[in-house]
Amino acid sequence: MKNDLVIIHKGEPRASTWILKDGFGVGKDHRYVIRTIEKYKTDFEEFGVITTERQQPNGKEGGRPVQAILLNEGQAMFLGTLFRNTREVIDFKKKLVKEFARMKAELTRLAAQSQNAQWLETRKAGKEVRVLATDSIKDFVDYAKKQGSTKADMYYANISKMENSALFLLEQTYPNLRNVLNINQLSTIKCADQIVIKALQDGMAADMPYKDIYKLAKARIESFADVIGKTLIPAAQVQITDKITDLGEKE
């Protein structure tokens, strides 16, 4: 589970009771929040279907999952009316309202972006270069295996992670980053793919050790990143890929 106040669940902004319990001043007693929702279930259902999900508490891997309720905006605001106000709770409620508004605005922006002809053309061009990069990585993987590598297949993921880490400031993991990049970011990652292609080809042509070829590609990408600069991919942006038509490969 992520620590973000408002997330996107099946294309709709939602807030988890596991996060809300702290903001509404309940502290560790998550069960009290659940019991409150169950007590006023009919009232909550006036704002939509109540959605539950088993989540890892506090975003930690492993451990025992908790049964949380994901509330839409109306449900979350109604829940807030059932708890006593303190200065801290009031501040949290203001933050919650702003986060729902921000997430809805981001959904609107990305929905419009996915229909923008220039964005679609840029995305298409990037995918074409990505196919070429994948072909080059395949050749490199075969090359590494011939040199004795037993984990060469990991380079498919590792090279993508290396590019993304060098070029973007990521607030969280992502299912398909390129589907939510803006036009400038798409152009940047396309250039990075081209740099990787050239580095792999140069290294293999020079019969370099496969580990040194990867280092060469990484060094060139980092030099490119030094010139172009990193851009932020906020959590709100990467969480909403389920709202956008799937355009292909996981990247």
CA angle 24, 172, 107 (to 5 degrees): 75
Cα–Cα distances (Å) from 218 to 120, 137, 199, in that order, read 28, 13, 9
Domain end position, chosen among 111, 134, 164? 111
Kindly tell me if the per-residue pLDDT of 169 is higher than 90: no
Domain end position, chosen among 111, 131, 163? 111
**Tens-place pLDDT, residues 88-103:** 999 999 999 998 998 8
The answer for 168, left when phi > 0, alpha when psi is -120 to 50, beta otherwise, is beta
8-state DSSP, 94: H
DSSP alpha helices (H): ranges in the chain?
Answer: 17-23, 30-39, 41-45, 73-81, 87-113, 117-146, 155-167, 183-205, 210-228, 235-238
- Which tokens belong to 171? 């607030």
Q: What pLDDT score was predicted for residue 61? A: 53
Range of the domain at 127: 116-243
129 and 166 housed in the same domain: yes
pTM: 0.59
Provide the domain count of the chain.
2
Q: What percent of the chain has pLDDT over 70?
A: 85
DSSP alpha helices (H): ranges in 114-154?
Answer: 117-146
Residues 6 or more apart whose CB falls under 8 angstroms from that of 22 comprise none
178 and 93 housed in the same domain: no
- Which tokens belong to 50? 């109540």
15 and 134 housed in the same domain: no
Distance CA 128, CA 135 (A): 11
**Tens-place pLDDT, residues 52-109:** 887 766 555 556 777 899 999 999 999 999 998 999 999 999 999 998 998 888 778 7
Distance CA 139, CA 135 (A): 6
30 and 73 housed in the same domain: yes
215 and 137 housed in the same domain: yes
98 versus 250: the higher-pLDDT residue is 98
